């Protein structure tokens, strides 16, 4: 009973952003629905979050990779098999906005993340003077840097939990599931062929 529609698809989501953006707080809030005291992440945190899309259960494996400058060098190693990128921004820290934009642009240039959907989380909305979604969209010039890529900006607060359920729902709808296969396989083949062609020219 209930076999159909209960297939478990495992999907990898990469949680990125500068140090102090709120990634670890966000991940633990999503997982445990409670405030959580974090320490700067050395290495990574990983959690499985169960979400539903239509009648299907999806297990999102969310990787929170340390955001400090020396850890950012290793982000590339986590790109493989990633279905979606969630980029967390401290909306209250206008001074580091440019640094965040540069890291996001660098991430989006990764060949392994081509065409992967992007969810930008405008975090710390509970702080007075936090940038709005529109401000962030413009500051990051998302329309230009994303091109054909599917993207969305969600306002949230990992501290209060506001916007987190919406964020999770959005990611679960953005990712391609293995069972979306016909289209996905075609896209994969096309991507691989283009990649090989590009590499073999000259
Ligand atoms: P990181 O994993 O991206 O490096 P953390 O960031 O989750 O460690 O959070 C960095 C600091 O920001 C923490 O404060 C955390 O409590 C705070 N923070 C995270 N999200 C929010 C938010 O939505 N609102 C507010 N006001 N603060 C938030 P401390 O003081 O522990 O360093
Ligand atoms: Mg952290």
pLDDT digits (tens, 9 = 90+) for 36-74: 556 666 667 788 888 888 778 888 888 887 666 676 666
Q: Please give the model's pTM, rounded to 2 decimal places.
A: 0.82
Compute the Cα dihedral for 128, 130, 133, 139 and give only its sign: positive
Cβ of 123 less than 6 Å from ligand 1: yes
Ligand 1 touching residue 96 (CB < 6 A): no
Lowest mean pLDDT among 102-116, 135-149, 166-180: 166-180
Residues 171, 68: Cα–Cα separation, whole Å? 24
* Active-site residue identified among 68, 112, 125, 154: 68
Decide if 68 is catalytic: yes
Q: Which CATH architecture has domain 9-177?
A: 3-Layer(aba) Sandwich (3.40)
Residue 167, C-beta contacts closer than 8 angstroms, at least 6 positions apart: 86, 119, 121, 154, 156
């Amino acid at each position: 009973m209930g076999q159909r529609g209960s297939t478990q698809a495992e999907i990898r989501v990469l949680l990125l952003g500068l140090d102090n953006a709120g990634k670890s707080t966000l991940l633990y809030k999503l997982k445990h629905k409670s405030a959580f005291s974090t320490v700067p992440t050395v290495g990574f945190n990983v959690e499985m979050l169960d979400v539903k899309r239509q009648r299907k259960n999806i297990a999102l494996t969310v990787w929170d990779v340390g955001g400090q400058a020396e850890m950012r060098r290793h982000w590339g190693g986590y790109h493989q098999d990633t279905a979606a990128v969630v980029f967390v921004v401290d909306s209250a820290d206008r001074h580091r906005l440019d640094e965040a934009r540069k890291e996001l642009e660098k991430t989006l240039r990764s060949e392994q993340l081509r065409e992967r959907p992007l969810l930008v989380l405008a975090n710390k909305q509970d702080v007075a003077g936090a940038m709005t979604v529109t401000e962030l969209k413009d500051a990051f010039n998302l329309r230009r840097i994303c091109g054909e890529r599917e993207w969305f900006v969600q306002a949230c607060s990992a501290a209060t939990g506001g916007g987190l359920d919406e964020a999770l729902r959005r990611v679960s709808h953005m990712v391609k599931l293995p069972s979306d296969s016909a289209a996905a396989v075609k896209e994969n083949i096309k991507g691989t062929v283009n990649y090989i062609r590009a590499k073999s020219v000259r």
